């Protein structure tokens, strides 16, 4: 009996250890790999998968991309910046700020072994990094925007043989097809049967046409720097009589020169891949164009129709400026509240009202308690060629002074100021102090119609108590939103 018990104990122990080894192996297999421009990164703390999202160490990813990373231990705040962008994130808080604009993260920054991890998806969206997830090899491929997309600077395109651009995909959202990166997957695809044959590529008016026979399943995507459209056709071969003729045993690629199109310069075609090679076509462009794909298997024709992008003037850009902020509180009210708080509250309410209109792009000079300089404010508006600029303030003088005022500087802003003031006076219900011309920096140096609003006086016993109520601020915000819509003729 003792022998049987001993044997049973040994078997149970072996099963327990085996289960532990299997579970450990599964856990280890799920540790994502991190590859930047074709080079594997080796962070001290590896990426992890949390709630179906890949979390990567912010320092190794961003510093490898040329960003500076600073951490404020008191604020639990990490700042990623370069000469063009500034991203501020706070530990365990889902709201980040990109160039002072609030951004929502799928998961908040997480601390692990003294390293801060952030969602891979958020990194790509915020810093303009191309990020692709290969579910087969559990690898995250990152491509910096200012380098060649393949990381080898030889001008070649290096997407896996059946690679279609899948964007940023979290590991549990679907198996995918193990592609989408510009670096061959760690586990190459096995050989596959050829189901289609290509006979010709030609250019017609605004179209690139491929003639084929059999069954094909093309994938296609756009790439920048330089602009081009890439088409991969797996499980397919070139016919011996393919036109234009090219001998791939002696030449790397063939080329079809295009001279009669505004954007398309040439069509390059080659065999591409690692373990399995497939036809690849690259449409070289001198500017970014859209395209439409038509595949008609009944006549064996795959057509890529090039489409010139529509002018972006159906989308208007409006800069909303909350006066003062940060170390500059502005005027202090009778009840000892700072003007900067009133200004920001109204601006955020305006943003909420207008955000639902897809014809508007809203840019805030500040969305929190920061202090952009006056030059920061008007330079921002000018650099993005905004259509309108609205600055919100609250005034202060003597206890007997009260009312609403609207200011402008340049003559081309007068009509906008008149319109905005007529709506504001009705909304505030305060004394009408009229439209006034003054040389304020934000209304003088901006290049678009610009107004500065003084909603009321924080030094007035009449104005101040009303100005801190939601009802008053909502009415002011609605008046500003209506003025913007009417000025842009969007009502």
Report whether 197 contacts 213 (CB < 8 A). Answer: yes
Is 454 labeled as catalytic in the residue annotation?
yes
Please, what's the b/e burial string for 391-406 (b: 16 or more CB within 10 A of its CB; e: otherwise)?
bbbbbbeeeeebbbbb
Please, what's the b/e burial string for 311-329 (b: 16 or more CB within 10 A of its CB; e: otherwise)?
eeeeebbbbbbbbbbeeee
Report whether 199 contacts 241 (CB < 8 A). Answer: yes
Other C-beta atoms closer than 10 Å to the C-beta of 467 total 24
Per the rule left: phi > 0, alpha: psi between -120 and 50, beta: everything else, 342 is alpha
| DSSP assignment letter at 428 | H
Report whether 47 contacts 112 (CB < 8 A). Answer: no
Structure tokens at 470: 């939601």
Distance CA(327)–CA(369), nearest Å, equals 9
Using CB atoms within 10 Å of the CB of residue 37, give its burial: 0 to 12 exposed, 13 to 18 middle, 19+ buried: buried
Report whether 78 contacts 58 (CB < 8 A). Answer: yes
Distance CA(129)–CA(36), nearest Å, equals 10
The one catalytic residue in 405, 445, 454, 464 is 454
Report whether 462 contacts 430 (CB < 8 A). Answer: yes
Strand-pairing partners, residue 212, are 198
- The residues annotated with a catalytic role in the active site are 454
């Amino acid at each position: 009996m003792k022998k049987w018990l001993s044997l049973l104990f040994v078997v149970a122990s072996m099963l327990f250890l085996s289960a532990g080894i299997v579970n450990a192996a599964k856990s280890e297999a799920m540790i994502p790999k991190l590859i930047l421009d074709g080079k594997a990164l080796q962070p001290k703390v590896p990426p992890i998968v949390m709630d179906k999202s890949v979390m990567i160490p912010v320092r190794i990813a961003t510093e490898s991309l040329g960003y500076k990373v600073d951490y404020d231990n008191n604020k639990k705040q990490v700042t990623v910046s370069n000469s063009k962008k500034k991203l501020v994130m706070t530990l365990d808080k889902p709201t980040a700020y990109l160039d002072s604009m609030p951004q929502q993260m799928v998961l908040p920054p997480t601390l692990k072994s003294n390293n801060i991890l952030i969602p891979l998806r958020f990194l790509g969206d915020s810093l303009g990094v191309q990020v692709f997830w290969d579910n087969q090899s559990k690898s995250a491929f990152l491509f910096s925007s200012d380098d060649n997309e393949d990381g080898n600077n030889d001008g070649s395109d290096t997407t896996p043989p059946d690679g279609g651009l899948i964007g940023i995909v979290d590991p549990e959202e679907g198996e995918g097809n193990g592609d989408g990166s510009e670096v061959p997957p760690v586990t190459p695809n096995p050989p596959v049967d050829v189901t289609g044959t290509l006979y010709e590529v030609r250019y017609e008016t605004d179209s690139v046409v491929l003639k084929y026979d059999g069954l094909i399943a093309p994938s296609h995507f756009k790439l920048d720097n330089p602009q081009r459209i890439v088409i991969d056709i797996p499980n397919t071969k070139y016919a011996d009589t393919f036109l234009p003729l090219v001998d791939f045993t002696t030449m790397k690629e063939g080329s079809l020169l295009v001279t009669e199109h505004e954007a398309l310069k040439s069509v390059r075609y080659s065999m591409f891949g690692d373990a399995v090679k497939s036809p690849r076509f690259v449409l070289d462009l001198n500017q970014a164009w859209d395209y439409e794909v038509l595949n008609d298997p009944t006549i064996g024709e795959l057509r890529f129709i090039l489409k010139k992008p529509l002018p972006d003037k159906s989308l208007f850009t409006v800069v909303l400026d909350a006066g003062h902020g940060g170390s500059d509180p502005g005027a202090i009210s009778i009840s000892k509240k700072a003007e900067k708080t009133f200004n920001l509250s109204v601006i955020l309410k305006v943003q909420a009202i207008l955000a639902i209109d897809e014809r508007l792009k809203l840019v805030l000079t500040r969305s929190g308690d920061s202090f952009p300089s006056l030059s920061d404010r008007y330079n921002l508006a000018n650099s993005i060629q905004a259509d309108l600029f609205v600055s919100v303030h609250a005034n202060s003088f003597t206890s007997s002074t009260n009312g609403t005022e609207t200011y402008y500087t340049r003559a081309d802003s007068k009509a906008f100021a008149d319109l905005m003031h007529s709506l504001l006076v009705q909304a505030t219900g305060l004394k009408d102090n009229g439209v006034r011309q003054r040389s304020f920096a934000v209304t003088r140096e901006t290049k678009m119609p610009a107004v500065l609003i003084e909603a009321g006086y924080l030094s007035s016993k009449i104005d101040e108590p009303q100005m801190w109520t939601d009802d008053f601020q909502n009415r002011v915000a609605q008046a500003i939103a209506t003025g913007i819509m009417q000025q842009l003729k969007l009502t």
